[in-house]
Structure 1
Amino acid sequence: MAVIDRIDERLLQLLIEDGRRTFSDMAADVGLSVGAVKRRVDRLCEEGIITGFTAQIDHTKLGWGVEAFTEVRFAGRTRIADIIDVSMNLAEVQAVYTIAGDPDALVHLRVRDMNHLQDVIDGLRRTGQVTGTKTLIVLGRWLRPSLPQAQRRSHTPSG
């Protein structure tokens, strides 16, 4: 587990809020020089804590307004790699989460409309490896663009 301090946490929070934020802006916020902030962000990237920078897209404006999660069940001896391959062969799949228990995977879908959703689910079922599905349609989404609160331990000297 990587060790980060409060300044690193603040830099991460600033980048979560706006990945295009400048080093100058972040430096002013945390009270460091621009060079020091750049070195810290570079280190966070090198250590794999920051894995990339991305844009947030309003998919409804692009015609992909329906979002759903489909629980997918596979035959008992299906390999994890096969579960991922079956799902990722469909362009509408945004992510695949393999999970413990029943079901085997949770597939995040984004489609144009209900007919399109039905076609995608039929596509999953026709692979021959899927034994069952259950689909949940997203009505709304609220995201928390922040880091989880760090658990701070207070150390009491023994004695």
Structure 2
Amino acid sequence: MDTLDEFDTKIIKELEKDGRMAFSAIANNLKISNTMVHQRINRLIEQGIITGIKPIIDEKKIGYDWGAFTGLTLNKDADSSRIIEELKKIPEITECYYVTGSFTLYIKMIAQNHEHMRKLLYEKIDNIPGIAKTDSMIELGCAFKRNISL
């Protein structure tokens, strides 16, 4: 594992405050050179520690009022790669995880309303060959979501 030094950690914390912050502003805040900030961020991206800087969208404000966490039971776990590729084609599925326990995969999906959610489950997800069963929990709102504290 690549270790983060004090400057890497401080740079990441600055980016967490505002991912659009100019490198020069980060350099000023941390009292280091703009070049150092640029080099450090590039290295963190190359190492895969920072995987991207992108907007965080509030789905509810763009009309997606429903969210669900759904466990997927597969006919054969060996089909998971193919099934994941099919799930990627459904834009309302925003996250997909390998899990232990009763399910093989666990997904997060969003929908505009209950009818949209029903269509996602019954007309899209359930029609993917190899999915034996789904088990969903409707989410009622996110209490908090954050990165690991550095």
TM-score (norm 1): 0.84
Q: Confirm or deny: 8 A CA contact 2:76 2:130 kept in the other structure.
A: no
**Partners of 1:67 and 1:104 in 2: CA distance:** 20
User: For residues 5-154 of structure 1, what are the structure 2 equivalents within 5 Å?
Assistant: 5-122=5-122, 123-141=124-142, 142-144=144-146, 146-149=147-150
**Partners of 2:51 and 2:77 in 1: CA distance:** 32
TM-score (norm 2): 0.88
Deviation of the 1:147 alpha carbon = 3.3
**Partners of 2:110 and 2:11 in 1: CA distance:** 31
Q: Which has the larger radius of gyration?
A: 1
Deviation of the 1:47 alpha carbon = 2.0
**Partners of 1:107 and 1:113 in 2: CA distance:** 18
Give ranges in structure 2 of 5+ residues lacking alignment.
Answer: none
* More helix as a share of residues: 2
Deviation of the 1:90 alpha carbon = 2.0
Cα RMSD of the aligned pairs, angstroms, is: 1.7
Q: Confirm or deny: 8 A CA contact 2:68 2:137 kept in the other structure.
A: yes
Q: Bigger CA drift: 86-95 or 96-105?
A: 86-95
**Partners of 1:44 and 1:10 in 2: CA distance:** 12
Give ranges in structure 1 of 5+ residues lacking alignment.
Answer: 150-159
Percent identity reads 26
Q: Confirm or deny: 8 A CA contact 2:79 2:130 kept in the other structure.
A: no
Aligned length: 148
Q: Confirm or deny: 8 A CA contact 1:70 1:134 kept in the other structure.
A: yes
Q: Secondary structure at the match of 2:148?
A: coil
